[in-house]
Amino acid sequence: MDYIDLHTHSTASDGSFTPAEVFASAVDLQLAAVALTDHDTVTGLEEFQSAALEHPECEAVPGVELACMLYMREVHIVGLFIDRHSPVLNDFLEKCRIERARRNRDIFLKLHFLGYELDQNMPEFGGKSLDVIGRPHFALALKNRYGFTTSQQVFDKLLGHNRPAWVPRRLPSPQEAIGAVHAAGGIAIWAHPVLRDSNERAFLTRACRKLSAWGLDGIEGYYSLFSANETLLVSEMAEKYGLALSGGSDFHGSNSPNIVLGFGAGGLRVPVELLYKLKEKRNSYYE
């Protein structure tokens, strides 16, 4: 049986593998398809798709991941099969990057006042501009310089939600993100919709009703941290609201060392049949 991974990140955002290395790893693992879905950028897609030219046995799916706000909760929309040259999508991404740069300046400032001196030129930031840096870059720099055992420990103490160096982002609505993905010829997927809250079924029902009305095409039912029951819950919601199922590891390379491409935390296997159904969804949308 063939397997796929439709949620990965590269050095174009907050992963440790280059776009070409992400694809090469998928080939080595004999995946039938892999999607590159970097945060708020499509700059890695040219390298990613170029790497695929000599390996037709593995499909390179161009994608992007967009952070949004719904009902006072951050949700992420993954766009698959997008045209990276889309003016509408790139205008949307530019606004996201401007906001990301603002947030990063504020994080540097908060860390300074907390006694943690970091410099954007440190190797952990990889020479990236402020509009591409993510919290994992901050976590790695802090771990290396201030005695933290793991990056997760940094998030728990400083960078996580409502921690001392936490800075919220002003996020667009999912409706805007879905519209940008559709303008780029792609399909919009709600990524990792379950956060293990006690009212997950109620939130999923409410959110799926709203997002499907805004044109959501699919939902990530297979994810590295999902239990079998969580996959079943998301699958039920997909059927109820006419959404296609997707799945992926959320691979970040060494920046998330417990997550392996194609295998997630160990038990993830996303069947290739989901790719066929996602393509059917896309073809029906753009006929």
Query: What structural domains does the chain harbor?
Result: 3-93+173-286 (3.20.20.140)
Confidence band, pLDDT 50/70/90 cuts, at residue 286 = confident
Residue 31: CA count within 13 A, CB half-sphere:
29
How far is residue 149 from each of residues 37, 118, 146, 155, 251, measured CA to CA in Å? 28, 18, 9, 11, 21
Residue 257 has pLDDT above 90, yes or no: no
| The token pair that represents 101 in the structure block | 């740069």
Tell me what pLDDT residue 1 has. 64
Whose CA is closest to 137, among 168, 100, 171? Answer: 100
Mean pLDDT computed over every residue of the chain: 94
- Averaged over 265-276, what is the pLDDT? 95
Strand partners, 188: 79
Give me the helix-helix angle, 200-213 and 174-183, nearest 10°.
Answer: 50
Tell me what pLDDT residue 27 has. 97
Tell me what pLDDT residue 179 has. 98
Summarised one tens digit per residue, pLDDT across range 118-168 is 998 899 888 888 888 989 899 999 999 999 999 899 999 999 989 999 999
Summarised one tens digit per residue, pLDDT across range 38-89 is 999 999 999 999 999 999 999 999 999 999 999 989 999 999 999 999 999 9
Residue 250 has pLDDT above 80, yes or no: yes
- Averaged over 197-218, what is the pLDDT? 90
Tell me what pLDDT residue 149 has. 93
Residue 182: CA count within 13 A, CB half-sphere:
16
